[in-house]
Chain A
């Protein structure tokens, strides 16, 4: 785990993704505040703060770079030479990147709350800090980030080509989940992005599962991907 932290700290990629994520949050919230008539209402505030969850896409990509990035730069050879028990490598990465995803979510939450509060102040309103609804959205957004980072580690270990893994993950979210969702009816609520939306209580979610079930189901996806990743990683020849 210590080694994995050190790997994270010594390159810039993570910081760049983190900063990019904050820009998306600030931009997204500002857009909502400018355009939405009921921006000062609780629903408006919640919708603004929910942008934390959208940033889970960055956490997902970050998670993918954990293993696929090592293949990209061929540092995976050194990693497996130092730790021939590859399941330990995957587990360490899973732990570190899940925490990093949570950090993405927490930093994002702080930025989202601050941005929302500033816009509200400009409109002569104030953030409804006493609202449990608001905080449940924040918490859900943080969990969404952590879960997507963990899923990303699994995806990157399964698809070790970095570009291929990122393209596959984003294509899934942007295209496939929508199309598959049409075909499987009610089960679509249980696909990863829909679960994240439910977790974050996005306004687009009408009748998804309750928040705690969504959290459990997303954790289930993360575990399933991790198990598949460990199984294939143990057998794979590193050439």
Chain B
């Protein structure tokens, strides 16, 4: 059971405030991380992962900043929009660079359904296959917290259904899962709670009533 806590988290790029005094605690279960384009979702996730330095405030995972975790990949698994692959590496080698545990590499390849494609170069993968490989990378070290930025990108309808049940299974194991997405219907089906951002400001954090997520979202983010 690992909580993610944001306290007064703020990021300014030059004079532009992208994330503005954000405070909330996210516990186990699936939390949808929502907001219009440019709301600061990706920046917040990158702040949480220590890839960007906050201008003020802090983001902690189980009480510690990402950079202070001794084995970060065992605590947090991340799939970011910009997660990259060297096109000349095979899927299996991409994972082997991240973990020396070959049994785990085989296991996560199986989980995401890429075993048959594992020895092809990533440059030949479809968008959906890359997304699955990114997910495999996030799951590799069996982390308690998952941070997934638009994990449904490029997945076909069967892939979306698979992703939904995967996330529900992982949540049932007591993991804390943060999923950013634009697909409100998808979030309404999968998430226990939502956090809604707009212009870097927290608009809503709490459980959802899936009947009116869309209207609530539009109301909260109306300009």
B-binding residues in A (CB < 8 A): 2-3, 6-7, 10-13, 69, 73-78, 80-82, 84-85, 235, 237-239
Contact = CB atoms under 8 A, between A and B. Distances in A.
Q: Give 9 nearest A-B pairs by CB, closest first.
A: A74-B84, A10-B93, A84-B67, A238-B51, A237-B52, A11-B88, A73-B84, A75-B84, A73-B86
A82 B51 CA distance: 11
Contacts of B39: none
Interface in B48-76: 49-53, 66-67, 69, 72-73, 76
> Size range of the interface on B?
20 to 34
Contacts of B78: 81
Given A74-B82, A239-B82, 16 more contacts: A6-B96, A10-B96, A12-B88, A74-B83, A74-B84, A75-B84, A77-B84, A81-B49, A81-B72, A84-B50, A84-B66, A84-B67, A235-B53, A237-B53, A238-B46, A239-B43
16 contacts: A6-B93, A7-B97, A10-B96, A11-B89, A74-B82, A74-B84, A78-B83, A78-B137, A81-B73, A82-B72, A82-B98, A84-B50, A84-B66, A235-B53, A237-B46, A239-B82
A10 B89 contact: yes
B50 A80 contact: yes
Contacts of A239: 43, 46, 51-52, 82
A62 to B, nearest CB: 15
Contacts of B53: 235, 237
B88 A13 contact: yes
A7 B88 CA distance: 11
A180 B73 CA distance: 47
Q: Which of B83, B84, B96 has the most CB of A within 10 A?
A: B84
B83 A77 contact: yes
B180 to A, nearest CB: 15
Contacts of B85: 73, 75
B86 A80 contact: no
Nearest to B47: A237
B100 interface: yes
A92 to B, nearest CB: 13
A85 B88 contact: no
Contacts of A80: 50-51
Nearest to A9: B93
A10 B83 contact: no
Contact of B51 (A3, A69, A85, A237): A237
B38 interface: no
A81 B51 contact: yes
B87 interface: yes
A82 B46 CA distance: 14
B90 interface: yes
B94 to A, nearest CB: 8
B98 A78 contact: yes
A76 B97 CA distance: 12
Nearest to B93: A10
B197 interface: no
B86 A11 contact: yes
B80 interface: yes
Contacts of A76: 84
B86 A77 contact: no
Interface string B73-116: 10010101011111111100100111010000000000000000
B46 A10 contact: no
B111 to A, nearest CB: 18
A6 B88 CA distance: 13
Nearest to B43: A239
Contact of A10 (B80, B82, B90): B90
Contacts of B80: 77
B52 A238 contact: yes
A78 B80 CA distance: 9
A48 to B, nearest CB: 34
Contacts of A74: 82-84
B97 to A, nearest CB: 5
